[in-house]
Structure 1
Amino acid sequence: MVQYNFKKITVVPPGKDFIDIVLSRTQRQTPTVVHKGYAITRLRSFYMRKVRFTKQNFHEKLSTIIDEFPRLDDIHPFYGDLLHVLYNKDHYKLALGQINTARNIIEKISKDHVRLLKYGDSLYRCKCLKVAALGKMCTVIKRIGPSLAYLEQIRQHMARLPSIDPNTRTILICGYPNVGKSSFINKITRADVDVQPYAFTTKSLFVGHTDYKYLRYQVIDTPGILDRPFEDRNIIEMCSITALAHLRAAVLFFLDVSGSCGYTIAQQAALFHSIKSLFMNKPLVIVCNKIDLQPLEGLPEDDMKLVMGMKEEAAKTVMAQGGEPNDDGVLLSMSALTDDGVIAVKNAACERLLNQRVETKMKSKKINEVVNRFHVAIPKPRDNRERPPCIPQAVLEAQAKESAATEKRKLEKDFEEENGGAGVYSASLRKHYILASDEWKEDIMPEILDGHNVYDFVDADILMRLEELERQEGFRLETEGEEADFQYDGMELTPEEKEALAEIRRKKSLLIQEHRIKKSTAESRPTVPRKFDKDKKFTSKRMGRQLSALGLDPSAAIDRVRGRSLSRKGHKRERSENRDVNGGDSMDIDGGENPSKKLRMRSRSMSRSRSQSRPPPGEIVPGEGFKDSAQKLKAIKIARNSTKMRNRDARRGEADRVIPNLKPKHLFSGKRGIGKTDRR
């Protein structure tokens, strides 16, 4: 939509910064080392490259400034005159002309010194020519420093200008200061223009946007204009005059009928007649504002004649399609404070502007190119019967039923209004409860009853669970009654067994008491494994003494503890003895198996539960899922081939995506000098 975006203009650096930027770039992006021993052609090319590169950087930056700043003769007249009002186009053109001249001078300096460098006969002379060329270029930039600073100020101010499209649908608001223009634009758009009760609060153009009939309209708020000669108007007033002169817009001339703005209706009418030439061929609406303070009907007769005279002039400025004056909707009244008539004024302005733009396009030659694309279909009547538009009876009946149902149903809002309104009426959340009786809905439910949480006892199956618990309780009582008939009195035990039983119970009670004492004194520690028992507290001999003290035979328990280690030692000893006697033969004289071999087979079967050796690669183990050894060997081969590349890359698995550091810093971080061991 916006054709001119001044916010994208590149920042203009000051003269000193301009030089620093270009020279530092030349130093960074061109070779910097040269020796006397180089050939003279190499020396010349070295310094010629420096000069050409510097010239190119200056040329690019100066060309960017010239190209990005708008040319006043090429842009829309509205922007051209606005820039002239704000900055004086003579100074503006002079600054850009100096930039262009400096660009040409720098190019000429570069060309001359490159021609001289072609005939340089030594390193010293080539260097002097380079220094002279760069020095002259920098001197030229220093001389245009004020122009660069002036253009930077203009760039900053232009970036703050509103984005106005001169060709779109526009509504322009004008009038004396403090008549309500900014209040009106704040009402109909989302613009936030400062509103104060004194004149010239608005010092520049402000833009907002509004919609009418699905079309976007641009609304421009202009600063106030005073009734005085053209040459006496200041820059703020000239912004409004420029907008009125160049924008094809619907004009809203605001008139303060109350006189609270500080100017009488006669003064405002004089301003209208002095600038009415700017309203020619534009939709014009005279808006009588602040009718809340002074109604339009209550004006004095003299003021009313002035208002009517303005209305006649407004009707003459806008001609209808037939060439006759059109005064429909020319004079409207509103109040921005009470919003009375604000929307009517906006709609009238948008409608008049839309009609005027349509008429203009219909009168243009472009309409002939598109008129053949339109076709208006007019249906032909098939008989003389009239068929006015109507609504079917079924639809009317459905609407009546729906409205009746809506009237019968009372909402919570209706109940609230009937019972005292907000803050007094509280909606009941229980009236939709589904209970056996509606009288229970408003009952107060206790949460704590007799010190118990009531919700813990709420259960739908409470009676069924109670019956089940009673049955279980009766079954348990019957079982206890049967067991009570049999009492263990110890009459069947011998005197020795009775003594052992009493000793065991006494020992058990002592152990329980000892455990409780340790637990109470925070000495409850984990049991120490037997292999870490350095003090030999938990040995088989101690266990035997304790069992003997209780009157039990400890031999079976001791044999069970020592059985595994003794069996291992015995097997080793028997195996070594048999090997020495038989000389390693596996068969005896009678052709039977060697006893030592039988012993080894037996010991192997006994120790197989402890550990088994890995089977050969081709041997099939039940549960692996191979039908024969060939299939197993093939599977092993495929598995090895699949991991070959992974192993070669030193990856831990298929999901290893680690990228190794091929050049560790501690090995490739630079050279070390003589006598230094630290790596940098």
Structure 2
Amino acid sequence: MVQYNFKKITVVPTGKDFIDIILSRTQRQTPTVVHKGYAISRLRQFYMRKVKYTQQNFHEKLSAIVDEFPRLDDIHPFYGDLLHVLYNKDHYKLALGQINTARNLISKIAKDYVKLLKYGDSLYRCKSLKVAALGRMCTVIKRIGPSLAYLEQIRQHMSRLPSIDPNTRTVLICGYPNVGKSSFINKITRADVDVQPYAFTTKSLFVGHTDYKYLRYQVIDTPGILDRPFEDRNIIEMCSITALAHLRAAVLFFLDISGSCGYSIAQQAALFHSIKSLFMNKPLIVVCNKTDLQPLDGLPEEDMKLVMEMKAEAMKTVVGQAGEAADEDAVLLTMSTLTEDGVIAVKNAACERLLNQRVEIKMKSKKINDCLNRFHVAIPKPRDQKERPPCIPQAVLERKAKEAGEIEKRKLEKDLENENGGAGVYSADMRKHYMLADDEWKYDVMPEILDGHNVYDFVDPDILQRLEELEREEGLRLEQEADDDDFEMDGKELTPEEQEALAEIRKKKSLLIQEHRIKKSTAESRPIVPRKFDKDKKYTTERMGRQLTSLGLDPSKAIERIRGRSVSRKGRKRERSLAGDDEVGDDAMDVDGDQPRKKLRLRSQSISRSRSRSRPPSEVVPGEGFKDSAQKVKAMKIGKKAVKARNKDARRGEADRVIPNLKPKHLYSGKRSTGKTDRR
């Protein structure tokens, strides 16, 4: 099944926009800086690349326009004729032909100038050839400006055309203007066609869809047709003629028997006979509309005779189609779109006849032989002479009758609406369908906000149980914290010597705290004395050792630890000084000849790593929304990849074009001739 979607055709830019887009892209995506000192081969290559790139972009854009617009000879005849009626086939083909010619001309210009650039002997000559090539390409595009504008107008109009499938099940409505065609399609489909009490309200084809026997049908509303010569018909009428000529559909010819449309039954019958050749081999139904104003039985004799003639013609068109010739009632139907009397009957009759015709055509086709080989109908052999008609048990019949009675008794929402004031007055009661444990609860008023709180935040049947669990958990946590905080020694488990040492330590601790507080209170006015000028020698390892020894503690490990720190600090300084020297090789020895500098550098790196450093990019910070560092690294990779193409194009954002400098230097500098220099 072929589907035509003209909404996907790309926008056709105007000639000026076309040139701006291509030249801007060439400027962005090719190198822009060249110097006189370059080799001549490099200069030639620089300008040849610009010419080729511009030609390639023009070729791609023009090819997209030529390929996306439909070729009238390759698409369905219905669409081909419809486009011819709307836009004139010759003008359409000429415009596309000019686009194709421009594409070939630009390719030829680029080929010629690339050949000349191969023999350019200076920067000035190469640049002049490049400017000439791009100028001639732009001139070609300017000349096809009217064709581009015409194709853009066609594209806009085609995008508004309805999406009609020429091969699916279709019901086509035709007739004089203002006979009720649009009202009918609004009744049987969800289409919203404008309906007004004057002629030619519908100016184009409108499509709606309806269902019958679980199948989807396409309903097409055509503009009104007047009874006049073919060459005098306008574009609006020709749309209807095209649809009648090319679509295999069930045709509903609408007849206004009341005459309120402004045309007599004789005029409508003349139109029917003038276009009856378009109804051949199609299911045709003559629909007498507006029976609420004029019943069919009350027509004058002359008008009734004309209606019967149309009925006889309609019978002729369907002779031989699935035995429908004998069913005369299905050819002439009456209805009123105002009262909706007979609307569904007309729809069902048209769909049924169309379905029968399609089945008949498929039965006559060659494909049916392949299908019949797969079918097998099993017929049981008779065992005796008894007749066994189909039998439905009495209990089933009684139950069906009971259900039908209940359905009749049950009131629907529509009945309640009609009883209580109709649409806009009646408000449906939704609470009666609530499924609750007790029906009396259905109309209880439950507040949403109470005392400034959302009620639904506190509606929890297990809230007391959860509160108890939380309190129990909080109590356990507090007990655990109390156990952890109980780290002060009471001295009961210690020996007398250890108790004396503990008392000394506590005394010393209190003295230090007091001293610290005194220093803190006088810190602003007290000068800072460097350690090397400390006359009292308060902070030395010997003094610390004497103090610890006096307390009865072994100071050796503390002294070793402090000396180890000072040695590592000196070694670090030494390594930094070595790293700052000029490197003479990885195997060069240090001053003392103890170890190679390479090992020193490695050691200094390991030491520097042990010190504090800034957070690595892959580390997850709380609140960033990442599960772990692997997920963060993956997200960073995807983000870099997403902006890579944009960064390559040197674009500021995601827009199509960015001109970072409105006056680029290469266009506004250099020698200038006499005259105006405001544009160069």
TM class by smaller structure: 0.5 to 0.7
Q: Are the structure 2 counterparts of residues 216 and 601 from structure 1 closer, same or farther at C-alpha, using a change threshold of 3 Å?
A: same
Percentage identity across paired residues of the two chains: 80
Give the partner amino acid of 1:279.
F
Q: How does 1:128-527 map to 2 (within 5 A)?
A: 128-321=128-321, 325-328=325-328, 329-395=330-396
CA deviation after TM superposition for structure 1 residue 318, in Å: 1.4
CA distance in structure 2 between the partners assigned to 1:410 and 1:353 by the alignment: 37
CA distance in structure 2 between the partners assigned to 1:46 and 1:109 by the alignment: 18
CA deviation after TM superposition for structure 1 residue 310, in Å: 0.4
Q: Are the structure 2 counterparts of residues 396 and 322 from structure 1 closer, same or farther at C-alpha, using a change threshold of 3 Å?
A: closer
Deviations 1:197-248 (A, max 9, x none): 0000000000000000000000000000000000000000000000000000
Aligned to 2:500: 600
Q: Is the 8 A contact 2:322 2:360 kept in 1?
A: no
Match of 1:208, SS state, is strand
Match of 2:373, SS state, is helix
CA distance in structure 2 between the partners assigned to 1:647 and 1:258 by the alignment: 97
Q: Are the structure 2 counterparts of residues 399 and 56 from structure 1 closer, same or farther at C-alpha, using a change threshold of 3 Å?
A: closer
CA deviation after TM superposition for structure 1 residue 250, in Å: 0.3
Aligned to 2:604: none
CA deviation after TM superposition for structure 1 residue 390, in Å: 2.9
CA deviation after TM superposition for structure 1 residue 319, in Å: 2.0
Q: Are the structure 2 counterparts of residues 315 and 647 from structure 1 closer, same or farther at C-alpha, using a change threshold of 3 Å?
A: farther
CA deviation after TM superposition for structure 1 residue 381, in Å: 2.5
CA deviation after TM superposition for structure 1 residue 320, in Å: 2.0
Q: Is the 8 A contact 1:244 1:278 kept in 2?
A: yes
What root-mean-square deviation, in Å, do the aligned CA atoms of Structure 1 and Structure 2 show? 3.9
Question: Which stretch has the larger CA shift, 647-656 or 158-167?
Answer: 647-656
Q: Are the structure 2 counterparts of residues 213 and 322 from structure 1 closer, same or farther at C-alpha, using a change threshold of 3 Å?
A: closer
CA distance in structure 2 between the partners assigned to 1:200 and 1:61 by the alignment: 40
Q: Are the structure 2 counterparts of residues 326 and 140 from structure 1 closer, same or farther at C-alpha, using a change threshold of 3 Å?
A: farther
CA distance in structure 2 between the partners assigned to 1:4 and 1:222 by the alignment: 19
Q: Are the structure 2 counterparts of residues 37 and 383 from structure 1 closer, same or farther at C-alpha, using a change threshold of 3 Å?
A: same
Q: Are the structure 2 counterparts of residues 39 and 653 from structure 1 closer, same or farther at C-alpha, using a change threshold of 3 Å?
A: closer
CA distance in structure 1 between the partners assigned to 2:223 and 2:377 by the alignment: 47
Q: How does 1:43-122 map to 2 (within 5 A)?
A: 43-122=43-122
Q: Are the structure 2 counterparts of residues 398 and 75 from structure 1 closer, same or farther at C-alpha, using a change threshold of 3 Å?
A: closer
Q: Are the structure 2 counterparts of residues 650 and 149 from structure 1 closer, same or farther at C-alpha, using a change threshold of 3 Å?
A: closer
Q: Say how many residue pairs are matched.
A: 457
Q: Is the 8 A contact 1:312 1:327 kept in 2?
A: no
Question: Which stretch has the larger CA shift, 37-46 or 378-387?
Answer: 378-387
Match of 2:220, SS state, is strand
CA distance in structure 2 between the partners assigned to 1:157 and 1:13 by the alignment: 16
CA distance in structure 1 between the partners assigned to 2:410 and 2:275 by the alignment: 62
Q: Are the structure 2 counterparts of residues 397 and 374 from structure 1 closer, same or farther at C-alpha, using a change threshold of 3 Å?
A: closer
Q: Is the 8 A contact 1:2 1:163 kept in 2?
A: no
CA deviation after TM superposition for structure 1 residue 370, in Å: 1.6
Aligned to 2:469: none
CA distance in structure 2 between the partners assigned to 1:385 and 1:27 by the alignment: 95
CA deviation after TM superposition for structure 1 residue 388, in Å: 2.8
Deviations 1:127-171 (A, max 9, x none): 000000000000000000000000000000000000000000000
Q: Are the structure 2 counterparts of residues 403 and 240 from structure 1 closer, same or farther at C-alpha, using a change threshold of 3 Å?
A: closer
Match of 2:197, SS state, is coil
Q: Are the structure 2 counterparts of residues 231 and 402 from structure 1 closer, same or farther at C-alpha, using a change threshold of 3 Å?
A: closer
Using the size of structure 2 for normalisation, the TM-score is: 0.62
CA distance in structure 2 between the partners assigned to 1:410 and 1:117 by the alignment: 90
Give the partner amino acid of 2:46.
F
Q: Is the 8 A contact 1:320 1:326 kept in 2?
A: no
Match of 1:218, SS state, is strand
CA deviation after TM superposition for structure 1 residue 401, in Å: 8.8
CA distance in structure 2 between the partners assigned to 1:331 and 1:646 by the alignment: 99
CA deviation after TM superposition for structure 1 residue 376, in Å: 1.5
Q: Are the structure 2 counterparts of residues 157 and 43 from structure 1 closer, same or farther at C-alpha, using a change threshold of 3 Å?
A: same
Q: Is the 8 A contact 2:322 2:357 kept in 1?
A: no
Larger radius of gyration: 1
Structure 2 residue ranges without an equivalent (≥5): 427-431, 433-490, 511-553, 555-608, 623-627, 637-680
CA deviation after TM superposition for structure 1 residue 411, in Å: 11
Match of 2:255, SS state, is strand
Give the partner amino acid of 1:83.
L
Q: Is the 8 A contact 2:209 2:218 kept in 1?
A: yes
Using the size of structure 1 for normalisation, the TM-score is: 0.62
CA deviation after TM superposition for structure 1 residue 268, in Å: 0.3
CA distance in structure 2 between the partners assigned to 1:366 and 1:356 by the alignment: 16
Deviations 1:316-370 (A, max 9, x none): 0112247884553000000000000000000000000000001011111111122
Give the partner amino acid of 2:265.
I
CA deviation after TM superposition for structure 1 residue 195, in Å: 0.3
Q: Are the structure 2 counterparts of residues 655 and 53 from structure 1 closer, same or farther at C-alpha, using a change threshold of 3 Å?
A: closer
Match of 2:357, SS state, is helix
CA distance in structure 1 between the partners assigned to 2:230 and 2:412 by the alignment: 67
Give the partner amino acid of 2:391.
C
Match of 1:25, SS state, is helix
Give the partner amino acid of 1:348.
A
Higher relative contact order (CA 8 A, sep 6+): 2
Give the partner amino acid of 1:333.
T
CA distance in structure 1 between the partners assigned to 2:156 and 2:353 by the alignment: 37
CA distance in structure 2 between the partners assigned to 1:403 and 1:197 by the alignment: 43
CA distance in structure 2 between the partners assigned to 1:295 and 1:7 by the alignment: 45
CA distance in structure 2 between the partners assigned to 1:383 and 1:214 by the alignment: 41
